[in-house]
């Protein structure tokens, strides 16, 4: 049997387990024939096969690990060979170890003794994989960056949804509407919108860009004219809302303010402001790109009229109750 035809240990055990049942029920003559067949297929001697037919052939985990078969000279050779072949997979690397080691030795990149070449010709692909994984851990790595201050701050802010029947004014859903058109390149106008869940009071300010400076100015403009105190700010997970500067601004400006945020990819957590994004922002400005100071001022002039019209002259419909209907076989809706 050639090396290419040799059974793996698992294949050999599986084959012997299949014949073990027949061997146990066979006569003396039949057992002799089965042993002849097993000798030919597995290349094991007869005594070993007789002991195997009387033993448990299920493979058990090794209780004691074997010592290393390949020393540091093989590690060093594999390190150089793997680098020269651009760290290809062990399956592709193993069949080429001997010839590439010889080639590298001819150019002075590697010292290839006959013993080393012999061991490289014997090594198994799984052993090569383990060695490459181990020596790869010794390579110096660039330092990994930790969480940014914005991401770290987000962890400390709870995710929730403001209850629809919140009785006290001051709990605002907040969002930023982008007026970038088809391209997000460069600075462009954004609409900062705040909607009070209890009263439906709405505030909108157009800003050019979304730096903490313009965001802080917009929030200050809104705070000056609100008829009641802000108790909670509830935006989505955008970094423009949770920068260190804005967090410090809210901490210093509004004492006892509660900060919360919606769950990622759950727009219904901000359902009141999302609805107003369509009716009070997109309904007037559409999806065109706005990216100049003059356009920002024009939009703010429009929003000043919005503030009067929608907050003082438009009635607000408020949900009074919800009824949950249980449909058989489905969760409550």
pLDDT digits over 165-175, tens only?
999 999 999 99
pLDDT band for position 331 (cuts 50, 70, 90): low
Token output for 116: 């080393």
Conformation bin of residue 303: beta by default, left when phi > 0, alpha when psi is -120 to 50 = alpha
- pLDDT over 70 for what percent of the chain? 92
* 214-232 exposure pattern, b = at least 16 Cβ within 10 A, e = fewer: bbbebbeebeeeeeeebbb
| Cβ contact 5:16 at 8 Å | no
CA 47-63-119 angle, to 5 degrees, is 70
Region 198-221 average pLDDT: 95
Query: Which pLDDT score is estimated for 8?
Result: 85
- Give per-residue pLDDT as tens, 219-258: 999 999 999 999 999 999 888 898 889 999 999 999 899 9
Query: Which pLDDT score is estimated for 319?
Result: 84
Query: Which pLDDT score is estimated for 149?
Result: 58
Residue 1 in this model has a pLDDT that exceeds 70: no
Query: Which pLDDT score is estimated for 152?
Result: 67
- Give per-residue pLDDT as tens, 269-291: 999 999 999 999 999 999 999 99
Name the 3-class secondary structure at 206: strand
CATH entry 3.30.420.10 includes domain 151-312:
yes
Domain boundaries, the chain: 3-53, 72-136, 151-312
Residue 333 in this model has a pLDDT that exceeds 70: no
Q: Which residues, at least 6 apart from 282, have a Cβ–Cβ distance to it below 8 Å?
A: 177
Query: Which pLDDT score is estimated for 136?
Result: 79
- DSSP 8-state symbol, 121: H
Exposed/middle/buried for residue 159 (C-beta within 10 Å: 0-12, 13-18, 19+): middle
Query: Which pLDDT score is estimated for 154?
Result: 77
């Amino acid at each position: 049997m050639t090396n290419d035809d040799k059974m793996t240990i698992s294949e050999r055990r599986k084959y012997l387990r299949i014949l073990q049942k027949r061997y146990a029920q066979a006569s003396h003559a039949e057992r002799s024939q089965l042993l002849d067949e097993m000798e030919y297929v597995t290349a094991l001697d007869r005594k070993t096969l007789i002991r195997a037919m009387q033993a448990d052939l299920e493979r058990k985990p090794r209780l004691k690990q074997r010592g290393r078969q390949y020393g540091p000279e093989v590690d060093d050779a594999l390190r150089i060979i793997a680098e020269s072949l651009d760290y290809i997979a062990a399956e592709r690397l193993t069949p080429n170890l001997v010839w590439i080691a010889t080639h590298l030795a001819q150019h002075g990149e590697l010292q290839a003794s006959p013993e080393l070449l012999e061991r490289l010709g014997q090594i198994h692909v799984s052993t090569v994989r383990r060695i490459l994984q181990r020596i790869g851990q010794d390579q110096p790595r660039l330092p990994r960056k930790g969480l940014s201050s914005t991401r770290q701050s987000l962890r400390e802010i709870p995710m929730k949804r403001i209850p629809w029947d919140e009785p006290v004014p001051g709990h605002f859903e907040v969002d930023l509407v982008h007026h970038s058109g088809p391209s997000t390149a460069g600075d462009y106008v954004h609409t900062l919108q705040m909607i009070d869940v209890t009263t439906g009071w709405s505030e909108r300010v157009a800003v050019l860009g979304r730096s903490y400076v313009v965001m802080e100015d917009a929030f200050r403009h809104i705070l000056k004219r609100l008829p009641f105190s802000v108790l909670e700010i509830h935006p989505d997970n955008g970094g423009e809302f949770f920068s260190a500067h804005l967090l410090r601004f809210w901490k210093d400006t509004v004492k006892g303010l509660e900060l919360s945020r919606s769950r990622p990819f759950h727009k219904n957590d901000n359902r009141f402001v999302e609805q107003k994004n369509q009716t009070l922002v997109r309904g007037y400005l559409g999806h065109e790109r706005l990216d100049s100071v003059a356009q920002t001022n024009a939009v703010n002039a429009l929003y000043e009229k919005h503030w009067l019209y929608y907050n003082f002259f438009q009635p607000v419909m408020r949900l009074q109750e919800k009824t949950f209907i249980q449909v058989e076989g489905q969760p409550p809706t």
